[in-house]
């Protein structure tokens, strides 16, 4: 077991060193289809702008409504017709998003190798490398263990487990249909399953198209001046 873990870490750092690039911006069109816990369905479309330097993310949604969401620090701000209409806490800051992980080449293990999580186990199963990760002690009441599946050096799935029962999944996420953009592997389809305490299921499918890396324009979005609209935006 210990030998397998050593090989795992050696391969991980070698791959990171070989593929490291200074990519810093990403723009992508998204289509989100969702089946809610109550059985209703929703569809939304828009464009995401993310900058690894400013650590700001802007979601310009055009369907079903024209709305803009700006995520910065631990807050998300909603704009309509150019006016700020709401502000709320964001449990996952932009630098932990799939877009940030892709630009940093950290998606393979969901950025866990630099997060404080501990690699607890690793095994192979029909061409998949399955690793189990345990959160640090100070977070174990808030988040449970994770299991990640990789194939050919790319993440294919991740399972999030309950803090109360480490065998009970609370959500699953699958990464499909990879493409390569400037040498960066990017999944063009992501499917997420969420489970409530009653065992009901919600499904969200996100499709990514027209991916652009290190775009020169749209500086007003990549560095959206959220500081003009809200105090403590960088919270």
Domains of the chain and CATH, by start: 2-15+24-222 (2.50.20.10)
Local structure of 166: helix, strand or coil: coil
Q: According to the model, what pLDDT value does residue 8 have?
A: 38
Residues of the chain with pLDDT under 70: 1-21, 230-235
Q: According to the model, what pLDDT value does residue 21 have?
A: 61
Average pLDDT, the chain: 88
pLDDT digit string, tens, across residues 85-140: 999 998 889 999 999 999 998 899 898 887 889 999 999 998 999 999 999 999 88
Long-range CB contacts (within 8 A, 24+) of 137-146: 144/170, 145/120, 146/110, 146/112, 146/117
Q: According to the model, what pLDDT value does residue 9 have?
A: 36
β-strand partners of 50: 26, 57
Q: According to the model, what pLDDT value does residue 15 have?
A: 41
The pTM of the full predicted model, rounded to 2 decimals, is 0.85
Please state, in angstroms and rounded to a whole number, the distance separating the CA atoms of residues 136 and 149: 21
Whether the Cβ atoms of residue 100 and residue 50 lie closer than 8 Å to each other: yes
SS (H, E, C) 35-62: ECCCCCEEEEEEEEEEECCCCEEEEEEE
Q: Beta-strand (E) ranges in 126-218?
A: 128-134, 146-151, 154-161, 169-181, 184-195, 201-213
Please state, in angstroms and rounded to a whole number, the distance separating the CA atoms of residues 99 and 208: 11
Q: Is the dihedral of CA 183, 99, 152, 207 positive or negative?
A: negative
Dihedrals phi, psi of 175, to nearest 5 degrees: -115, 120
Whether the Cβ atoms of residue 84 and residue 230 lie closer than 8 Å to each other: yes
């Amino acid at each position: 077991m210990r030998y397998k873990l050593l090989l795992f870490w050696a391969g991980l750092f070698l791959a990171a060193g070989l593929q490291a690039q200074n990519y810093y911006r990403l723009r992508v069109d998204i289509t989100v289809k969702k089946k809610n816990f109550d059985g209703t369905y929703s569809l939304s479309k828009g464009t995401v702008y993310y900058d690894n330097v400013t650590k700001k993310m802007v979601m310009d949604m055009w369907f079903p409504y024209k709305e803009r969401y700006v995520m910065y620090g631990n807050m998300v701000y909603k704009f309509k017709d150019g006016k700020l209409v709401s502000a709320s806490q964001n449990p996952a800051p932009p630098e932990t998003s799939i877009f940030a992980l892709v630009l940093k080449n950290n998606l393979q293990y969901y950025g866990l190798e630099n997060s404080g999580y501990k690699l607890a186990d690793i095994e192979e199963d029909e061409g998949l490398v399955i690793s189990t990760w345990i959160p640090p002690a100070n977070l174990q009441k808030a988040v449970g263990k994770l299991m990640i599946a990789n194939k050919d050096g790319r993440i294919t799935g991740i399972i999030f487990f309950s803090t109360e029962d480490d065998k009970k999944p609370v959500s699953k996420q699958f990464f499909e249909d990879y493409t390569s953009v400037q040498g960066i592997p990017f999944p063009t389809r992501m499917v997420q399953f969420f489970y409530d305490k009653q065992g009901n299921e919600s499904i969200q499918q996100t499709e990514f198209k027209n991916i652009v890396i290190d775009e020169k324009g749209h500086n007003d979005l990549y560095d959206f001046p959220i500081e003009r609209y809200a105090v403590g935006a960088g919270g």
